[in-house]
Structure formats: C-alpha cells, structure tokens
C-alpha cells in the first residue's frame, strides 16, 4: 500500500548523492528506520513479558486463568499486574504483526 503525500518535499542534492553512491533509496531508508523502531518496541515488551513470567513463574494465560478463577479473594497487586501484563502481551502481538506486515512488503 502506498500513501501519496499532498505536500511535496525535496531531498537535498548532497543527501541524494549519498543515497545514490550507497545504492539505497529514501523509501528503503524510511522502511529500515520504521523496522528499527518496531524492533525497539518488541524488545521493550518482550523484556516486560519476561519480568512478569519470572515474577509469577507462569505464562500470561495461566496467570490470567488463575486470577479469573479466584472466588471471594482480592489481590489488588495481582489484578494490577494482570492489567499491565495484558497491555504488554497485546502490544507485543500488535508490534509483531506490524513487523510481519512491513517485512512482507
């Protein structure tokens, strides 16, 4: 999918000369930049996911099942962590999908 910008922008000649010498396109550079940003986000969420897995000694799904099956018990820290962990898992999934989509272009 291509997005056409209404506003024109110009790449300075010196920069365009460097791109030509290196045999890279500005679009390729933008794609690589986006990939690097996505890799950074994935790494961040993977680290946070590992933190929760180590803290609770189980996967997110197992922990979620444990919290949802509790009756007449309240563990505010666990419930807060479940919300935070769910945010991490959802974002990890989201950015991995974005990565797959960008790599397949």
pLDDT tens track for 32-87 = 999 999 999 999 999 999 999 999 999 999 999 999 998 888 899 999 999 999 99
**17 closest CA partner among 8, 7, 5, 26:** 26
Ramachandran category for residue 11: left, alpha or beta (phi over 0 → left; psi -120 to 50 → alpha): beta
Burial class (CB in 10 A: 0-12, 13-18, 19+), 85: buried
| pLDDT value at residue 87 | 98
* 52 close to 60: Cβ distance less than 8 angstroms: yes
**83 closest CA partner among 43, 104, 52, 38:** 52
What is the rounded distance in angstroms from the CA atom of residue 74 to the CA atom of residue 65?
Answer: 15
pLDDT tens track for 14-34 = 988 888 888 888 888 889 999
Whole-model pTM: value is 0.79
What is the rounded distance in angstroms from the CA atom of residue 49 to the CA atom of residue 42?
Answer: 10
């Amino acid at each position: 999918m291509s997005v056409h910008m209404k506003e024109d922008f110009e790449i300075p000649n010196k920069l365009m000369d460097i791109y030509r010498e290196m045999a890279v396109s500005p679009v390729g550079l933008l794609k690589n930049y986006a990939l690097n940003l996505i890799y950074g986000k994935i790494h961040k969420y993977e680290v946070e996911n590992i933190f929760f897995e180590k803290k609770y000694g189980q996967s997110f799904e197992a922990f979620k099942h444990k919290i949802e099956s509790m009756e007449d018990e309240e563990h505010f820290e666990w419930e807060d962590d479940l919300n935070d962990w769910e945010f991490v898992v959802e974002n990890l999934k989201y950015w991995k999908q974005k990565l797959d989509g960008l790599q397949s272009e």
